[in-house]
Structure 1
């Protein structure tokens, strides 16, 4: 199992001047701890569940580009881009640019979008859910065409491109991996089976994750896709400490042993990667513990703990 880190909270003491140095240190600490990937939300207002919309929020791809300059190995992506936020051709160009400048470390994380408040606030059209999914599928087709040798036109119901030119091309081959976020059984998981290299699920517990994987397996069978070729990732909360005290966010912390047990259970449920939301991302003392967790879970495989 590989571990990633999602940073979703930027309201740190001394902001805004402190945000750049603090986030840069988080990126470097995550990489030094052996984490495989670094993710930020693609939002413009802070989201419910984390804080009020007035809290600090950074634009995702600018943030990832900054992280690319602070690191050399860790992979970089949004968890996840709302399909409504950027024209598909511009999105493909943006992710390609991140991939080129980072030396082949970019992901495209994408979903159907949901936060109507920030759409209305910033004047971004927010079509009905059915149309958002139609746009998501067309966007997936467009980015895959732009990451191929075909620079011809694209004509869909919602998007029309005269020339899908993308120069320079991405470094990653065959293209930056595509991760689709969401757990909708009829639409989202069907798109994962048809287009994605990875899925991202919320941590709804091992039984729920196993059931979701079985639905995805069925969609893969329907389209003739190898289920095992899709990386299953899960976003979960996990803050580490060796004292057992609360994280700065107020949430409880756990020991390395407890973290390994939790991640092992997620692997048994079919998860290949776990992306951690940590309540103590700014604490340098947390990252040696993260490194030990990375070491212990590196041999755990999805649906089996043979490496333990």
Structure 2
């Protein structure tokens, strides 16, 4: 089981705070540093100093870190046009020496679209746009050097693109999809994704959705084992109950609720819960860190949880 760090900067973070977390995660041996792609806070936090752009952040981290992988959970397809997105991700991949991963989804938070003037079509159209974006981004990256790429869709048309720049990673940076959609999500995953992620989903719900995704792979002749399965879960680990309670209070949550819905408790409790998620077929956990100032939290899990996971 690989552990990765996942942050929510829209809740209030500067670039320097994110860099401190990314460097701590790198030094502690985590597999990756991921961040959300949101432009507006959620809940009753202030969100100050204000949002940071996901791919601008990752470009900076690409130069300010050296080993840890970097990515998004999830870039909203509503935020960017597919051609420029392919260019941006390929450029950040080059800036990082081939350490970037693209998590992408339909976008769901209507308030952030209203707050920053971003069109927010109905869900069906958002799925249509996501599907076309996936075809364009992966098609641009897959076009042989010297060739051109064309695409004619309902929402996007690409004509005679030189399909440059190419990412450093070959054949491409990994593409992540996720969510609990029963039909289109598994179908798009089977066709385009290297990894399928379930955010904040129960063990029982995970079994159901992973079965759908595996079935979608089989339906198009893809080996389901070629798709990596993963989870994102909020982390609240402490050496004892007092420390767990302190960390829960710092993020405005209750220990019992976090034990039920996330990865909370002592290192032994967290190891046990991760084991139950591993039984669903998951091979990677994105640990959602909500208190970015608490770097000891990351170090504790790296020292006392990760070595027990095999």
**TM-score, length of structure 2 as denominator length:** 0.88
Deviation at 1:287, TM superposition (A): 2.7
- What is the SS of the residue equivalent to 2:237? coil
| Pair 1:237 & 2:237 matched | no
1: CA distance, partners of 2:74 / 2:183: 19
Deviation at 1:10, TM superposition (A): 5.9
1: CA distance, partners of 2:108 / 2:205: 22
| Pair 1:274 & 2:269 matched | no
- Counterpart of 1:137 in structure 2 is 131
Where do residues 1-308 of structure 1 align in structure 2 (5 Å cutoff)? 1-9=1-9, 19-48=14-43, 51=45, 56-148=50-142, 149=144, 150-244=147-241, 245=243, 246-247=246-247, 248-251=250-253, 252=255, 254-292=265-303, 293-297=305-309, 299=310
2: CA distance, partners of 1:41 / 1:239: 19
1: CA distance, partners of 2:86 / 2:299: 36
Answer 1 or 2: which has greater helix percent: 2
On the 8 A contact 2:72/2:103 being kept in 1, the answer is yes
- What is the SS of the residue equivalent to 1:285? helix
- What is the SS of the residue equivalent to 1:73? coil
Deviation string for 1:102-141 (max 9, x for gaps)?
0101111101111111212222111111111111111111
Deviation string for 1:196-248 (max 9, x for gaps)?
10111123221211111111111111111111111111110112222432212
On the 8 A contact 1:145/1:151 being kept in 2, the answer is no
Deviation string for 1:225-280 (max 9, x for gaps)?
11111111111011222243221214445222111111111101111111011244
- What is the SS of the residue equivalent to 1:45? coil
On the 8 A contact 1:22/1:282 being kept in 2, the answer is yes
The 1:289/1:123 distance shift into structure 2, 3 A limit, reads same
Answer 1 or 2: which has greater strand percent: 2
**Cα RMSD, aligned residues only:** 1.9
2: CA distance, partners of 1:11 / 1:160: 36
- Counterpart of 2:259 in structure 1 is none
On the 8 A contact 2:87/2:165 being kept in 1, the answer is no
On the 8 A contact 1:203/1:209 being kept in 2, the answer is no
2: CA distance, partners of 1:91 / 1:69: 19
Tell me the number of residue pairs that the alignment of Structure 1 and Structure 2 aligns: 292
On the 8 A contact 1:34/1:294 being kept in 2, the answer is no
Deviation at 1:52, TM superposition (A): 6.0
Deviation string for 1:84-108 (max 9, x for gaps)?
1100001111111110000101111
On the 8 A contact 2:93/2:173 being kept in 1, the answer is yes
On the 8 A contact 1:84/1:125 being kept in 2, the answer is yes
